[in-house]
């Protein structure tokens, strides 16, 4: 019974990763983790800045001993004080600083989602490139197998003098060339696997069968990387507000309570009070700074304008990318129809030429070309079908949607 149980579960352990599983592995890699840490770091920094604007409470203590006692300086003096400070108004710097952090956090989150979706697109391309190469490999192996069978058949005819040496050598040459092509395909397959292992951070074994389904609605959203630029632009606008706040005064409140323990040797110097509470309203206003505030404000504003121009440029470019992706998808559909027609034509031509060749009506040059075209047509059709999946994923990506939601 235990043996049967083990045998039943062997296929599960031997199964490779489909596209959905590869994407899941990829968006948990170290690169994504670093972007997550950036978001968390920015959130912690924002929390710290917000708390920095809350009332602050400080306690101070001091002890001193003088070698010459005076009425204002006792022989020994111990002072303990506690103070509360709060900034009431700072020209709008507080609000602009908070909004700056909010925009930067949103930008970081969108950047994180953009990285994950870009990785999903890259993995999708690698996945279907691998399946395309696998189809080419299969077609090439079948072609070599048929060429070897033809070589064996002609060798028998050569032994009885029914064919010539050059006819056999043509077959041998074609086998050698196809074998080299096969090795190149295998190298390309290994390259794709290595790239996927680099992205996922683990060994992978690709399982076919995944499909990218097309979304039905025509509502397009902004890509996450464009949204990240938008929030980054808004954050820079808040920096302008921070710089502008230096034109206004800062008003703060302070309340300090102090307790004194003055040990006078001369009792006539003794003070009537041993504690003091002082409440103050403070105003600080930088009236003149040799143009520092003005230059800082203009610098921040120009950075905002630069970010705005970059955002508008990339947004327009993204719209063009979407239109091109849709057109490319339409062409990919036509390529499949063309490839199917090409395969039908190649199969028909191969059957006719093979019959003529076996009956000695044509030489093996035409036969070898027909054989090659037949397997090339099979590869072209598979490549077109898998390319359609990639083009579909590209449309989904440029429409601002999450590719992973459309994998089945």
353 shares its domain with 337: yes
166 shares its domain with 181: yes
The mean pLDDT of the chain is 88
Q: At what angle do helices 19-26 and 165-200 cross, to 10 degrees?
A: 50
Confidence band for 3, pLDDT divided at 50, 70 and 90? very low
Residue 5 lies in a domain: no
Confidence band for 162, pLDDT divided at 50, 70 and 90? low
Residue 6 lies in a domain: no
Report d(CA 124, CA 210) in Å as an integer: 10
Residue 381 lies in a domain: yes
Supply the pLDDT for residue 9: 42
120 shares its domain with 259: no
Supply the pLDDT for residue 264: 60
Confidence band for 166, pLDDT divided at 50, 70 and 90? confident
351 shares its domain with 271: no
Return the HEC string of the chain. CHHHHHHHHHHHHHCCECHHHHHHHHCCCHHHHHHHHHHHHHHHHHHHHHHHCCCEEEEEEEEEECCCCCCCCCCEEEEEEEEEEEEEECCCHHHHHHHHHHHHHHHHHHHHHHHHHHHHHHHHHHHHHHHHHHHHHHHHHHHHHHHHHHHHHHHHHHHCCCCCHHHHHHHHHHHHHHHHHHHHHHHHHHHHHHHHHHHHCCCCCECCCCCECCCCCCCCCCCHHHHHHHHHHHHHHHHHHHHHHHHCCEEEEEEEEEEEEEECCCHHHCCCCCEEEEEEEEEECCCCCCCHHHHHHHHHHHHHHHHHHHHHHHHHHHHHHHHHHHHHHHHHHHHHHHHHHHHHHHHHHHHHHHHHHHCCCCCHHHHHHHHHHHHHHHHHHHHHHHHHHHHHHHHHHHCCCCHHHHEC
Query: Of 259, 284, 309, which closes a domain?
Result: 284
276 shares its domain with 372: no
Domain encompassing residue 173: 17-54+90-249+285-406
What's the Rg (C-alpha) of the chain?
A: 39
Convert the pLDDT of each residue in 288-327 to its tens digit: 889 999 999 999 999 999 999 999 999 999 999 999 999 9
394 shares its domain with 373: yes
Query: Of 284, 307, 341, which closes a domain?
Result: 284
271 shares its domain with 147: no
195 shares its domain with 77: no
216 shares its domain with 331: yes
Minimum mean pLDDT among 127-131, 149-153, 162-166: which range?
162-166
pLDDT exceeds 90 at position 95: yes
Residue 127 lies in a domain: yes
pLDDT exceeds 70 at position 7: no
Tokens of 67: 């070698």
Residue 162 lies in a domain: yes
Query: Of 265, 284, 303, which closes a domain?
Result: 284
Residue 10 lies in a domain: no
Residue 67 lies in a domain: yes
The CA-CA-CA angle for residues 365, 366, 367, to 5°, reads 90
Supply the pLDDT for residue 10: 41
Supply the pLDDT for residue 266: 62
Convert the pLDDT of each residue in 366-392 to its tens digit: 888 888 889 889 999 999 999 999 999
138 shares its domain with 107: yes
Convert the pLDDT of each residue in 324-340 to its tens digit: 999 999 999 999 999 99
What's the rounded mean pLDDT across residues 73-96? 88
Supply the pLDDT for residue 174: 87
pLDDT exceeds 60 at position 153: yes
352: CATH? 1.20.1600.10
* Number of independent structural domains in the chain: 2
Residue 135 lies in a domain: yes
105 shares its domain with 134: yes
Minimum mean pLDDT among 142-156, 192-206, 325-339: which range?
142-156
337 shares its domain with 275: no
């Amino acid at each position: 019974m235990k043996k049967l149980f083990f045998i039943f579960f062997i296929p599960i352990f031997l199964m490779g990763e489909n596209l959905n599983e590869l994407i899941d592995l990829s968006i948990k890699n170290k690169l994504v983790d670093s972007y997550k840490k950036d978001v968390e770091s920015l959130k912690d920094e924002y929390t710290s800045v917000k708390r920095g604007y809350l009332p602050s409470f400080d306690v101070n203590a001091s002890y001193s001993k003088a070698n010459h006692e005076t009425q204002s300086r006792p022989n020994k003096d111990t002072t303990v004080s506690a103070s509360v400070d709060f900034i009431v108004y700072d020209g709008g710097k507080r609000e602009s600083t908070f909004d700056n952090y909010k925009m930067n956090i949103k930008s970081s989150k969108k950047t994180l989602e953009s990285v994950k979706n870009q990785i999903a697109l890259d993995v999708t391309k690698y996945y279907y490139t691998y399946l395309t190469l696998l189809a080419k490999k299969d077609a090439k192996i079948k072609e070599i197998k048929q060429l070897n069978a033809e070589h064996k058949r002609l060798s028998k005819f050569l032994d009885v003098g029914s064919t010539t040496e050059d006819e056999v050598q043509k077959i041998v040459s074609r086998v050698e060339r196809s074998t080299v092509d096969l090795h190149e395909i295998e190298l390309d397959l290994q390259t794709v696997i290595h790239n996927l292992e680099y992205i996922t951070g683990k060994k992978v074994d690709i399982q076919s069968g995944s499909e990218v389904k097309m979304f039905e609605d025509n509502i397009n959203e902004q890509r996450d990387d464009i949204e990240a630029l938008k929030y980054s632009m808004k954050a820079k606008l808040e920096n302008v507000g921070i710089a502008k706040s230096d034109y206004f005064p800062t008003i703060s409140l302070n309340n300090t309570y102090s307790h004194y323990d003055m040990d006078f040797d001369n009792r006539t110097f003794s003070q009537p009070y041993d504690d003091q509470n002082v409440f103050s309203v403070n105003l600080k206003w930088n009236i003149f700074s040799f143009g520092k505030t003005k230059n800082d404000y203009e610098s921040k504003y120009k950075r905002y304008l630069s970010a705005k121009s970059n955002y508008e440029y990339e947004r327009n470019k993204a719209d063009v990318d979407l239109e091109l992706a849709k057109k490319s998808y339409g062409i990919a559909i036509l390529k499949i129809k063309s490839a199917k027609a090409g395969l039908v034509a190649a199969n028909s031509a191969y059957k006719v030429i093979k019959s003529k060749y076996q009956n000695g009506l044509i030489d093996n040059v035409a036969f070898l070309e027909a054989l090659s075209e037949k397997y090339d047509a099979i590869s072209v059709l598979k490549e077109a079908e898998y390319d359609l999946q990639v083009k579909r994923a590209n449309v989904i990506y440029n429409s601002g949607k999450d590719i992973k939601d459309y994998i089945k």
